[in-house]
Amino acid sequence: MTNAELIQISIDSQRLSYSPYSKFKVGAALLTVDNIIYTGANIENAAYPVTICAERTAFIKAILDEQTKFVKIAITASSNEFCFPCGSCRQFMNEFTDEKFEIIVFDGKTINSIKLTKLLPHSFGKSNLL
Domains in the chain, ordered, with CATH? 3-129 (3.40.140.10)
Catalytic residues: 55
Look at residue 109 in the predicted model and tell me its pLDDT.
96
Question: In the 3-class helix/strand/coil scheme, how is 30-57 assigned residue by residue?
Answer: EEECCCCEEEEECECCCCHHHCECHHHH
Is a pLDDT exceeding 70 seen at residue 69? Answer: yes
Look at residue 12 in the predicted model and tell me its pLDDT.
98
The length of the chain in residues reads 130
pTM (2 d.p.): 0.93
Cα–Cα distance measured from residue 63 to residue 18, given in angstroms and rounded to the nearest whole number: 22
Is a pLDDT exceeding 80 seen at residue 107? Answer: yes
Mean pLDDT for the chain? 94
Look at residue 130 in the predicted model and tell me its pLDDT.
42
Cα–Cα separations (whole angstroms), residue 53 to 1, 2, 11, 34: 23, 23, 15, 24
